[in-house]
Amino acid sequence: MKYLITVALLMTSLTTLGNGLPDGHPEGGASILPADHDIPKDEFGKMVRQGQLIFSNTGQFAGAYVGNDLSCRNCHLDQGRKAGSAPLWAAFLSYPAYRAKNHRVNTFAERLQECFVYSMNGKAPPLGDPILVALESYAYWMEKNAKINPLLQERGIPQLQKPGTPPSYERGKTVYANNCALCHGTSGQGRRANDGHMVFPPLWGDRSFNWGAGMAHLNKAAAYIKTNMPLSLGGSLSDQDAWDVAYFMDGHNRPQDPRYTGSVDETRALFHRTQNSLYGHLVAGHVLGNDPVSKN
C-alpha cells in the first residue's frame, strides 16, 4: 500500500510538477524528516523507539548479531536521517531491488541482514526477528512521516569522480594524520568516551567492518568521506584527498570476508574483482585479506 502511495506521489510530481502535493512538500529541495517527538505513543511507536535504540547502540541492543565496535549511526549520520550518508528512510524506499552483490532481488529486511554480516562483522538476525522488525519500523516511520523529495536525491552516497592522480597510501597517511586521527585515533582504533562508550568508530583492525562491507571499497569510502568527514566539515577535503585517505583506510587489514573460500586469491577472484577493492593486494608490506587481524 505504501509503495502505491509513493509511486502515486512520484507520478503526480513528475506529471504536474508538484501540483497536488501536500503543502510544504520540498519539490526541489531536501526532504523534511520527522523529529523524535513525532514518534507515536502506542505499540508501533514503542517498536520505532526500539529500532532507534538498536540503530544508535547496536552492540548493546543487538549484541548477538554484532562482531565489532560499530553502531549503525556511526556511518548513517543523524540517526539515519542525513542526506549523503546512506539515510535509512531512503534505503527503505529503495527496496526490493536487484543487487549484483548476490545476484538476486533483495528485500529491505535482507539488506539489513547484510549490514549485520559485513559492516557489523556479525551474523544475520533471522527474517522476522524483533531486531529486524524494530529497524524496519524505525525506517518506515521515518519515511512515512517525511515530506520526501520525489527524486530521492539524498539516497545512498553521492558518487565521487575518479581522482586526477591514482590514490596513494603515503599521501593518504598524511591526510589521515591531519584530519582523521584526532577522532579515529592514530592507529584507526577509534576512541571511546571516558565512560567506555565507543564514540568514534574504529576504521580498520579487528573491531571494524569486514572485507565484505561497502566501506571496504575505495569508491564508496572516498565518496562517503568527501561528503561527510570530518564531522561538521563535510565537503572540506579535496576529491584527491578523499581518494587518498580512503586508500589509506582500506589499505589496512580488517576482519576476513565472511565469503572467504579458504584462499585469498580465490576469494578475490570471486568477490573482489574490482579496482575499488584492495583485498588480496600487497599494500604497505601486507597482503590484505591474508592476515585478518591488523598489525599495520
Binding mask 161-200 for another protein (x = CB under 8 A): ------------------x--xx-------xxxxx-x-xx
Residue 226 vs 268, nearer CB to another protein? 226
Give the total of residues touching another protein (CB under 8 A).
25
- Of 78, 90, 83, 28, residue with least CA distance to 235: 83
| HSE, side-chain direction, 13 A CA sphere, residue 191 | 10
Residues 23-52 that bind another protein (CB under 8 A): 30, 35-37
Shortest distance, position 56 Cβ to another protein, whole Å:
10
How far apart are the C-alpha atoms of 59 and 113, rounded to whole Å?
15
Residue 202 grid cell:
574504529
Residue 52 vs 253, nearer CB to another protein? 52
The one among 105, 233, 269, 293 contacting another protein by CB under 8 A: 233
The one among 17, 27, 44, 78 contacting another protein by CB under 8 A: 78
How far apart are the C-alpha atoms of 228 and 282, rounded to whole Å?
29
- Cα-based torsion angle of the residue sequence 3, 4, 10, 11 in order, rounded to the nearest 10 degrees: 150
How far apart are the C-alpha atoms of 68 and 74, rounded to whole Å?
12
Shortest distance, position 191 Cβ to another protein, whole Å:
5
- Which residue is associated with the grid cell 560499530? 70
Residue 39 vs 132, nearer CB to another protein? 39
Residue 206 grid cell:
579487528
How far apart are the C-alpha atoms of 93 and 86, rounded to whole Å?
12
Q: How far is CA 232 from CA 173, 190, 203, 215, 229, in A?
A: 21, 18, 18, 20, 7
Stretch near another protein under the rule CB under 8 A, chosen from 20-28, 120-128, 228-236, 252-260: 228-236
Residues 234-293 that bind another protein (CB under 8 A): 234
The one among 231, 262, 285, 295 contacting another protein by CB under 8 A: 231
Cis peptide bond upstream of 230, omega within 30? yes
Say how many residues make up the chain.
Answer: 296
Residue 198 grid cell:
565507543
Shortest distance, position 16 Cβ to another protein, whole Å:
27
**Which amino acid belongs to residue 51?**
G
Shortest distance, position 161 Cβ to another protein, whole Å:
22
The one among 232, 262, 285, 295 contacting another protein by CB under 8 A: 232
Shortest distance, position 150 Cβ to another protein, whole Å:
19
Give residues in contact with another protein (CB under 8 A): 30, 35-37, 77-79, 81-82, 179, 182-183, 191-195, 197, 199-200, 230-234
